[in-house]
Amino acid sequence: MSGRERANQKIRGVNRMFLSFECSKRGPTSYCYLLGIILCVVATPVLPCSRVVYRGPDGAVVVGRTMDWAQSLEVNLWAFPAGLERDGNAGARSLKWTSKYGSVAATCYDTLVADGMNEKGLVVNVLYLSSSIYPKFDGTRPTLSIGAWAQYVLDTFATVDEAVTVLKDEPFQLGALIMPGGHAGTAHVSISDATGNSAIFEYIDGKLVVHHGKQYSVMTNDPPYDQQLALNGYWQEVGGNIMLPGTERPADRFVRASYYLGEALQTPDERKQIATVFSIVRNVSVPIGAEHAGQPNVAATLWRIVADQKRGVYYFELTDTPNVFWVDLSRLDLSVGQPMRMLPVEGAPEMAGEVSGRFRKQSDFEFMAGSDPGDVQK
């Protein structure tokens, strides 16, 4: 038995001990249900990425997230103006739209939008969710590549309420992705706006599930979100000042992020707000060098993003450089008729400070192609 297998065996034993005690003390209804969830989570591969929304004094809203993967995602930042004609790149019925708002987005392979903020302060975060199951194309609705999902939201909506009103009725179907390396690009999406409102969209067993409200301020990966909330409720009763789960598993990161968000400094100081959110997402990051054979998504944190939604500033940190740089969206001309621009990040010279002047004009951007989930999900 390997060291990791022995460690996982011990974790399972600890979880059984804690939950068995709670079952005997409180009865079978809720805590025995949690026992099943925890044992399921322990046996599930770890799927990193984490996101938190901080709300501070004077209406401050700051969202932070990590991106974890075993291989380079070739991240770059793009500045997209309003007025762009878009194509969802998911077959013959691909959704067509025109961007209403300008935005800055973090892309993978210059084809998949993983994160971004638009000029109205709406932020979208895409996180891996292996348990996602998308419905197969029904031939009646437009289709949209998952690689374009986040950008469609950034292009189209100013607030979470607007987005939920439209997206809950599923006006399009999502086209499944196969990532470089052959792994399925399944995901769920969180959005937040400059008021601190939040929503999470995920497809479970082919059905859209939406969690909408300011209380949904933390998200990681598997298990599905309702089970993460149940697990967090258990650990809230234990108390973070007594013990917090410390593994890299999504459910453990969810608990730590929730606890530290609740402990976060409440200050009107902009710099301290940004530093506070960075401190939380660094706490739930996975160290450089972490590897899990056969699981490229169970790996070290590659980069972190913190977005100041009230002031319109987008902060970025590569984990293998010592610097933070940022983009002040007010310094970019994102009006109709302006060109797309790109800022090389991975492999580029180290950057620090405000970098809006370093974006360079680009003539084209094509979303990663999406396919009928009925053909991809076997």
Question: How confident is the model over 49-80, as pLDDT tens digits?
Answer: 889 999 999 899 999 999 988 788 999 999 99
At residue 112, the pLDDT reads: 96
At residue 134, the pLDDT reads: 93
Indicate if the pLDDT at residue 40 is higher than 50: no
Angle at 102 between CA 96 and CA 106, to 5 degrees: 90
Q: Which residues are catalytic?
A: 49
Q: What separation in angstroms does the CA of 19 have from each of 39, 235, 236, 336?
A: 10, 11, 14, 57
Indicate if the pLDDT at residue 45 is higher than 60: no
At residue 10, the pLDDT reads: 37
- Residue 58 has a CB neighbour count (10 Å cut-off) of 9
Instruction: Judge whether 148 and 126 are in contact, CB under 8 Å.
Output: no
- Pinpoint the alpha helices (H) of 53-176: 146-156, 160-167
In this structure, is the dihedral angle defined by the CA atoms of residues 264, 265, 268 and 273, taken in order, positive or negative? negative
Q: What is the DSSP letter of 348?
A: S
Helix, strand or coil for residue 363?
A: coil
| pLDDT higher at 365 or 291 | 365
Q: Which residues contact 183 (CB under 8 A, 6 or more apart)?
A: 296, 297
In this structure, is the dihedral angle defined by the CA atoms of residues 150, 233, 231 and 64, taken in order, positive or negative? positive
- What is the distance between the alpha carbons of residues 276 and 9, in angstroms, rounded to a whole number? 35
Q: Between the CA atoms of 167, 168, 172 and 176, what dihedral angle is there, to the nearest 10 degrees?
A: 100
